[in-house]
Amino acid sequence: MLMASKHEQCGPRKASYTGLTDHDTLKINVSGTKYAVVSTVAKELGLATVHADTNECDVYWIDGAISLEKFLEMKHYQKVNHFPGMGEISRKDSLGRNMQRMRKENPSEYSFVPQTWVLPGDYNGVSSYMRELKRKRRNRTFIIKPHNGSMGNGISLARSIEDIPRDQNVVVQEYIDKPLLLDGFKLDLRVYVLITSCNPLRIFVYKDGLVRLSTQHYTAPTDENIQEQFIHLTNYSINKHSDSFDASEGYDKGSKRTIKYFNGWLALNGYNVSEMWAKIYDILIKTLIVAHPHLVHSYSACRPGRSVEEKCQCFEVLGFDILLDKDLKPWLIEVNRSPSFGTDAPLDLVIKRGVVKDALNIINLSTADRKRSIVAHKVASRRRLLVTPSKSRYDFLGEQEEADYEIKKKKEEVKERLLTIRRQKALKDHENECMGDYVRVYPTTDWSRARIYEGLLETAAKICLVGRSQPGSRSRRRSFFSSLQTLKEHELMDLLSQYEYQEQHGPDSPPRLSYIRPATSHYQPLSVADSHSPMDTMYAVMAARVAEEEQVQRMMMSLNDTKPSYPLKTQDEVHRVLEEINADLLTHRPNIASFWMVSLDSTKRKQLLVPLKDLIKRLLQSHWRTTNLDSVKLFHVLNRLFSYLLSRGGKGLWSVFVPLHKSWEADFRDKSEVLSMTEIVCCRKVVELCQSTLIAGYYYHHLHRPKRQSKSTSCKRIPTSSRRPSSIPKCPSLPVVIPHPSYSIKQRPYSQTRITSNRPPPTRFRQTDLRFP
């Protein structure tokens, strides 16, 4: 029998919910689903099924999307099989738009979606693309789909611009016209993907799935055959109406087969099956990365005051449609948030039963959640009272009490973080034990892929946050809380003991906490000698790490706020220049390379970056409130970064412009000591600023230098496409400067520039920061 105490620790450790007492019975509400397989599986697992539309249940299984109202109504221990916000990838128009944005930022990582236009807005884009193809005498086919269509409804193929509807809500997509064929038929894969949490993102893929075949032999699209749905579409809902639909029950024949069979067929025919799956997993992860910020945003909006890291109330089984071309390159066709769980054929039943059963096992339903939810609710209210006292409450506190209060507050947050870590660990153990036929694909164990995904998550968050307000008032709390995220469980335990010690002996009791550098780094601890025992020293080091991380985060905020600028130019002008060059970077790249690595010698290269370097130094001094930065780790890291960028005749910075197999980051990080995520983000921002500096320098000193100077140098000719707009005046003098908006830098020679602070260093937090480990 499943004991509540076991649940409390790490959830049920068996693949069924049977054996619960009446009082403990878990209930699933199936009134929102038409699929019988859900109830069947639930009963097999020992869940009681509720058919009425009541909220007396532990989990809801519904076919459509969940409305925000419904989610808001749900109790904190209840779960539902959808995430609010998933429409961002499951609607064809949203998927198209989101993919366009991500592709713009990361063209090479997002080349798995056929080129897509969302009409009517993108009509001009698709028509000029088609005209260009016509001019080059290239025959291409396009597929037109309704914005929110499904089951092949309303889909048509087009081969000329006249067939593209100008004013309709459709997406137009390049048609993959050389698909992989099985027995002469076009096919696509239905891959079942389970998401158990949005922050952190946890993704599983079911090992089996469906292969759906068209019912007429495939021939490349022509004006004559583009109407033939049974050739070009692989939807079961379309092909089941074909006379040629083969309902054979054997796994190796018929118009519907299993992925397991298909893998065998591929292997027999000499294809590299594991490589294909690695690519498919990569597509699934990258697609969910696009959805990630929307999921986190919607989830937090519906559950204000609750950490998204708490046991997630949502899970979702998505059906990804993947098309393979003749070279076995997988293409993402669409994401179904309500994949069919119909079981027309025995093969459907076997697969879909497994998909539902293993999903219900992984999500770790437990009656203890109900009880825990009530307790957690009380704890949260208590914590809210402690953590966010009203201003007036502070007014009544004396200095000493206020300090005590701060410690209590921090202690609560450390406890909260510890709880989260333990919960996550227990959850992972449970998932590993109950995965059944699912495999975990994210978080990935491949370190180099993980780094790429981290970067993409950041980009997706940036894109999603454009135009959204940033959290401000709770930044200080966030700041402390985020810094805790870098600590391991045993480190948090130590910190907790330290706060407890301080609570008993007063906030000023030894050991002194502040400004001690990590023992692991080569920086000298400033006041370890003041500590009273090895344990005290350890606590002090922990607290210092938290303090250090907070400072690095503030620096990161400042760098994020920093905009490229130039002496005697407005920021808008410089912004326009950067946009102009970036828009045609491929043309400019050889000239930038020649400017940076040939026209400039090592002194001039250094000179170009000096103002930026100085500015960063001043920011560091201001954040660390000292002019002596010797003991500041980030200062040394950034110094090393500048040296790296200038190294090998400027090749370090140049590598940023070139999409290399091994990025500058991997290269720099290989040579550097271990960096925290926040330090890495600072480095990335500095590299970005250096890149902008180089582009601005190239523009003002290479493309648009006065004639008298150009005679004496070996500068290249100016491409006509990139001539400076007349609004941007000429400026012959190096160097470029990038001031921080928080500081007014007087326009005078750099040796004399001075910072006057307008406001304290910003402590604003962006949503992206929430996911730092």
Interface residues with ligand ADP (CB under 6 A) are: 114, 143, 145, 149-153, 155, 173, 175-176, 188, 233-235, 321, 323, 333-334
C-beta of 176 vs 615, nearer to ligand ADP: 176
Task: Take residue 406 and report the two structure tokens written for it.
Answer: 């701060």
**Cβ of residue 187: shortest distance to ligand ADP, in angstroms?**
8
Choice between 175 and 699, CB closer to ligand ADP? 175
Percentages (nearest 5) of helix, strand, coil residues in the chain: 50, 10, 40
Q: Rounded to the nearest whole angstrom, what is the least distance from the CB of residue 766 to ligand ADP in the complex?
A: 34
Q: Per-residue DSSP letters for 700-741?
A: IIIIS--HHHHTTS-PPPPPGGGPPPTTS------------T
**317 or 574: CB nearest ligand ADP:** 317
Q: How many CA atoms lie within 13 A of 639 on its CB side?
A: 9
Rounded CA-CA distance 112/744 in Å is 45
732 in Cβ contact with 529 (< 8 Å): no
Cα–chain center distance at 477: 23
CA distance 599 to 589: 14
CB 239 within 8 A of CB 233: yes
DSSP 751: G
- Beta carbon of residue 345, minimum distance to ligand ADP (angstroms, whole number): 18
Minimum distance of ligand ADP from residue 182's CB (angstroms): 13
For residues 276 and 229, give the distance between their C-alpha atoms in angstroms, rounded to a whole number.
27
Structure tokens at 149: 């269509």
Distance in Å, CB of 289 to ligand ADP, minimum: 21
Q: Which residues contact 532 (CB under 8 A, 6 or more apart)?
A: 510, 511
Helix (H, G, I), strand (E, B) or coil at 629: coil
Residue 213 or 461 with smaller CB distance to ligand ADP = 213
- B/e letters for 45-55, b = 16+ CB within 10 Å, e = fewer, are bebbbbeeeee
**With respect to ligand ADP, which residue has the nearer C-beta, 155 or 403?**
155
Parallel/antiparallel/unpaired status of strands 142-146 and 156-158: antiparallel
- Quote the least distance from Cβ 162 to ligand ADP, whole Å: 20
First to last CA, the chain: 37
User: H or E element: which one contains 38?
Assistant: helix 36-44
Q: How far is the CB of 155 from ligand ADP (least distance, A)?
A: 6
Q: Give whole-number Cα distances, 740 to 225, 558, 578, 754, in Å.
A: 61, 7, 17, 12
Which pairing describes strands 256-258 and 79-80: parallel, antiparallel, or unpaired? unpaired
Tell me whether residue 143 or residue 703 sits nearer to ligand ADP (CB atom).
143
Cβ closest to ligand ADP, residue 65 vs residue 143 = 143
The CB-of-189 to ligand ADP minimum distance in angstroms stands at 10
Beta carbon nearer to ligand ADP, 238 or 694 = 238
Whose Cβ is closer to ligand ADP: residue 171's or residue 414's? Answer: 171
Q: Are 164 and 127 in contact (CB under 8 A)?
A: yes
Q: Closer to ligand ADP at the Cβ: 334 or 458?
A: 334
**C-alpha distances out from residue 716 to 386, 596, 597, 600, 719, Å:** 65, 12, 13, 13, 9
Distance CA 383, CA 96 (A): 42
Using the minimum distance from each CB to ligand ADP, give the nearer residue, 221 or 567.
221
Question: Least distance to ligand ADP from the beta carbon of 192, Å?
Answer: 15
Q: Are 112 and 332 in contact (CB under 8 A)?
A: yes
Tell the smallest beta-carbon distance from residue 112 to ligand ADP (Å).
11
Tell me the Cα Rg of the chain: 30
CB atoms within 10 A of CB 518: 15
* Residue 243 Cβ vs ligand ADP, minimum distance, rounded to whole Å: 19
Alpha helices in 466-523 (DSSP H): 475-484, 489-505
Rounded CA-CA distance 631/635 in Å is 8
Least distance to ligand ADP, CB of residue 159, Å: 13
Q: Please, what is the minimum distance in Å from the beta carbon of residue 104 to ligand ADP?
A: 20
Smallest distance, Å, CB 147 to ligand ADP?
11
Contact 571, 561 (CB under 8 A): no
Q: Which is nearer to ligand ADP, 234 or 565 (CB)?
A: 234
**For 103-109, which contacts have Cβ atoms below 8 Å and span 24 or more sequence positions?**
105/459, 105/463, 106/456, 106/459, 108/659, 109/286, 109/452, 109/456
CB of 566 to ligand ADP, least distance (A): 45
Dihedrals φ, ψ of 203, to 5°? -125, 135
Residue reference for tokens 């118009």? 255
Whether cis (ω within 30° of 0) applies to the bond prior to 739 is no
Residue 244 beta carbon to ligand ADP: minimum distance, rounded to whole angstroms: 16
Q: Taking the complex as a whole, how short is the minimal distance between the CB of residue 173 and ligand ADP, in angstroms?
A: 4
Closer CB to ligand ADP, residue 153 or residue 602? Answer: 153
Nearer to ligand ADP, 8 or 122 (CB): 122
Q: Which is nearer to ligand ADP, 114 or 507 (CB)?
A: 114
Listed residue (654, 620, 652, 647) closest to 635, CA to CA: 620
Instruction: Name the residue nearer to ligand ADP (CB basis): 41 or 143.
Output: 143
- Calpha distance 105→456 (Å, rounded): 9
Across 460-474, b (16+ Cβ under 10 Å) vs e yields bbbebeeeeeeeeee
- The smaller minimum CB distance to ligand ADP, of residues 152 and 471, is found at 152
The number of C-alpha atoms within 13 Å of 677 and in the hemisphere containing its C-beta is 17
Report in angstroms how near the CB of residue 211 gets to ligand ADP at its nearest: 11
Strands 170-174 and 116-118: antiparallel
> Which lies closer to ligand ADP via its Cβ, residue 140 or residue 563?
140
Q: How crowded is residue 527: how many other Cβ atoms within 10 Å of its Cβ? A: 15
- The first and second tokens of residue 605, run together, are 């290269």
